[in-house]
Amino acid sequence: MWFDAALMTLLIAVALFFFAQVMRVKVGVLLRAKPEVRWDRVADRIEQTLRIAFAQKKLFKEPGAGLMHAFIFWGFLVLLVRSISLMGRAYDGGAFAGHWTLFWFWPALDHAYTWLKDWTEVVVLGMVSYAAFRRLVLKPARLTITGSGYLILGLIATLMVTDFLYDGSRFAAGVPGVEAEAAHAPIGSLVGGWLRGAGPGVLKALAVAMFWVHIATLLFFLNELPRSKHFHVITAIPNVFFSKLEPPGAIRPILDLENQETFGVSKPTELTWKQILDGYSCTECGRCTVNCPAVLSGKPLNPKLLIRDVRDYVKKHERRILAGEEIPEGEPTLIDAVQEDVIWSCTTCRSCEENCPVMIQHVDKVVDFRRYLTLMEGKVNPEVATAMKNLENKGNPWGLSSGERGAWVTEAGVPLLSEKKSAEYLYFMGCFAAYDDRNQKVARAFMSLMAKAGVDFAVLGPEEQCCGDPARRLGNEYLFQMQAQANIETFKKYGVRKIVTACPHCMNTIRHEYPQFGGDFEVLHHTELLARLLRDGRIQVPPQETPERYVFHDSCYLGRYNGIYEAPREVLSACPGVEVAEVGRSRVNGMCCGAGGGLMFREEHIGERMNQVRLKQLDQAGAGAVASACPFCLVMLRDGVNELGWEERYRTLDVAEVLARRVGV
């Protein structure tokens, strides 16, 4: 027995020594990254970890692969107890000892665990076989298939098989004290039955061999994890625990803009420790790509590869990071590793983040890269640069006169807040309703509905500026903060408390990002207010026999950013005769139209146009019209209809327009 104890001690010591060497580097890199507060709201973090990391909630959008991964994970948790008990056995009776368990104090629990352990190993073996089949035969496009993946599957299978053979050989040899264990180990007993014809010496040799192979495999597995993409086995749970709890639509601000010397990210030490932990936690499962508009339309961006490239660049420069050395001039930067075309292909739609099972944030990294390119290098696409210059000089992306902002509203007799002095709601029009002819029709419909319902509202007119969403997401944090602070000052001057807007981008920015600068207001989307007015009976929709079928397109900034899916559908469904059709890519899985992240103001020169890809998806519903609730989406969908030559069979309308037509205002 002393030999078993000595050998186990040696193996554990050697394995932990090498593991500690690797982890010392990984942890050291995290400690040298930029700080970030992720220790707050501990109860919420525990709840999220239980729901997402342990219950594996986000995996089941793809049931087959999701169940496979979840069962392997859950099985691993169950079998940790077995692995600990096997190690303990070396110090109490040796490898060929009788029964040894952590639950010696509670026989019923011990027996229940033995039964559970056996069936868990069967399930895990089945799931590993399915995983290998997927990689060898099915080969899903989203997967990164590597030799390391097969190695890990082989190691897991080895752990299961060696444990069955270890139990079976002990049971067949009739080792004293195993009778009760064998009675509750159905698979081990089955294997023991197969081995019963072997001699005692063979059975002992097999048991001892399987014991040490199992232990060696487990310790090798431990050391393989941090050296490969499977590091996520160790880091995924912490990554979920430390994930963002703030609203997903709130980009982290740059504080003290005037005194900072650098902005954004171009080297590893400018990443936060959580951004590096994201890279450690990437499983390369490719779920982030399944609904990415850039991937589906053939753009350079692949969110999985973006995270991988960041991770690999950090790994390449680990020694320099630990030594505090700068990357020499002329060597590729982190921006070079990720590539500028990739950075400027992101619409910030957050589909990647929604689908990531370990809560990796992609958008914040893209914005940080853009901040560096925009504020430090001035490397911005000319079309985007023009839009930003116009935003800075005129307060709108088209460079139209700021004094004429929303001039049509006053001509229509809508009250200005400067004249009315106070109102229950400030209607924040946004740039599209102020200047774009098509979205002016939406604004007219919405304001007519508010007037009919007796809502007390007013507009700012020329005192309104762009909310700042395009500037921030294009990386121009300086311009964003100027616009945000100017609007906040205006709101406070008039004592504004409630704001309604038809633009999800404006809503998201004012609701979630203005509080970063002291601007706390109640902000509603126009569909939320309309749904409320309908429920309260303040808007009555007369019966109409003409049936209409609409397919609803979910705006990313309304849906994934703010969780508003029902309000627009509620408004449409309140209209008698209106049928709301759905397609597979809807609600949380809705695909972006291509306008987010400031890309509304940039042409697509690579691949298929995103708005056309989206329209082809919506066309599967067989509807004659597309309804949306976002001015960005409305313009993109209208342009897509024209580009595809579908003008004769497709209409594009805002939800407010549909309701206004039915109400007759």
Tell me whether residue 182 is in a domain: yes
C-alpha–C-alpha distance, residues 400 and 390, integer Å: 8
- pLDDT score recorded for residue 256: 85
**Pair 191, 81 in one domain:** yes
Residues 183 and 326 occupy one common structural domain: no
Count CA atoms closer than 13 A to 5's CA, side-chain side.
5
- SS3 assignment, position 9: helix
pLDDT score recorded for residue 250: 95
Q: Return the CATH number at 589.
A: 3.40.50.10700
Which of 484, 516, 533 marks a domain boundary?
533
Closest Cα partner for 439 from 604, 276, 242, 657? Answer: 657
pLDDT digits (tens, 9 = 90+) for 307-357: 999 999 999 999 999 999 999 988 999 999 999 999 999 999 999 999 999
Q: Is 295 within the bounds of a domain?
A: yes
Same domain, residue pair 312 and 291: yes
Task: Say yes or no: 620 and 584 in one domain.
Answer: yes
- Report the pLDDT value the prediction gives residue 99, as an integer from 0 to 100: 73
**Predicted confidence (pLDDT) at residue 496 exceeds the cutoff of 90:** yes
Do 447 and 318 share a structural domain?
no
Specify which residues 457 forms β-bridges with.
425
Beta bridge partners of 272: 34
Q: What number of residues does the chain have?
A: 665
pLDDT tens per residue across span 225-244: 999 989 999 999 999 999 99
Flag whether pLDDT at 545 surpasses 80. Answer: no
Pick from 65-69, 175-179, 309-313: least confident: 175-179
610's CB contacts (< 8 A; 6+ apart) are 293, 294, 296, 297, 347, 592, 593, 594, 604, 636
Are both 528 and 564 inside the same structural domain?
Answer: no
Q: Is residue 78 part of a domain?
A: yes
Residues 192 and 44 in one domain: yes
Same domain membership, residue 310 and residue 235: no
Q: Tell me, what CATH number does 190's domain have?
A: 1.20.950
> Which whole number is the average pLDDT over 285-310?
97
Q: Is the pLDDT of residue 201 over 90?
A: yes
Q: Check which CATH number belongs to the domain holding 285 and give it.
A: 1.10.1060.10
375: pLDDT strictly greater than 70: yes
Output the DSSP codes for 531-585: HHHHHTTSS--------EEEEEPPPTTTTTTT---HHHHHHHHTSTTEEEE--SS
CATH, residue 469: 3.40.50.1860
Tokens of 351: 């589909």
Q: How far apart are CA 108 and CA 105, in angstroms?
A: 9
Of 533, 552, 579, the last residue of a domain is: 533
Domain tally, the chain: 4
- How much is the pLDDT for 383? 86
Q: What is the mean pLDDT of residues 153-174?
A: 96
pLDDT value at residue 106: 85
Confidence class for position 362, pLDDT limits 50, 70, 90: very high
Residue 649 pLDDT exceeds 90? no
178 and 34 co-located in one domain: yes
Strands 522-525 and 498-501: parallel
Q: Report the range of poorest mean pLDDT among 101-115, 269-283, 313-327, 498-512.
A: 101-115
Q: Give pLDDT tens digits for 79-95.
A: 999 999 899 889 888 88
Q: Is position 361 within any domain?
A: yes
Q: Do 71 and 220 belong together in one domain? A: yes
Q: Do both 234 and 331 map to the same domain?
A: no
Question: Is 263 among the domain residues?
Answer: no
Domain shared by 58 and 145, yes or no? yes
- Mean pLDDT, range 377-391, rounded to an integer: 91
Mean pLDDT of 138-166: 94
Mean pLDDT value across the chain: 95
Residue 102 pLDDT level (bands cut at 50, 70, 90)? confident
* Percentage with pLDDT > 70 across the chain: 100
In a domain, 647, yes or no: yes
To the nearest whole percent, how much of the chain has pLDDT over 90? 87
Domain holding 510, by residue range, is: 393-533
Average pLDDT over residues 101-121: 89
CA 508 to chain centre: 17
Instruction: Examine residue 583 and state whether it is found in any structural domain, yes or no.
Output: yes
* Lowest-confidence segment of 30-34, 288-292, 406-410 by average pLDDT: 406-410
- Residue 1 pLDDT more than 70? no
Last residue of a domain, one of 193, 224, 241: 241
Q: From CA 194, how far away is CA 209, in angstroms rounded?
A: 18
> Can you give the pLDDT at residue 403?
87
Question: Token match 């609600």: residue?
Answer: 587
Cα-atom radius of gyration of the chain, to the nearest Å?
30
C-alpha count within 13 angstroms, C-beta hemisphere, residue 163? 30
Residue 440's contacts (CB-CB under 8 Å, 6 or more residues apart) are 408, 433
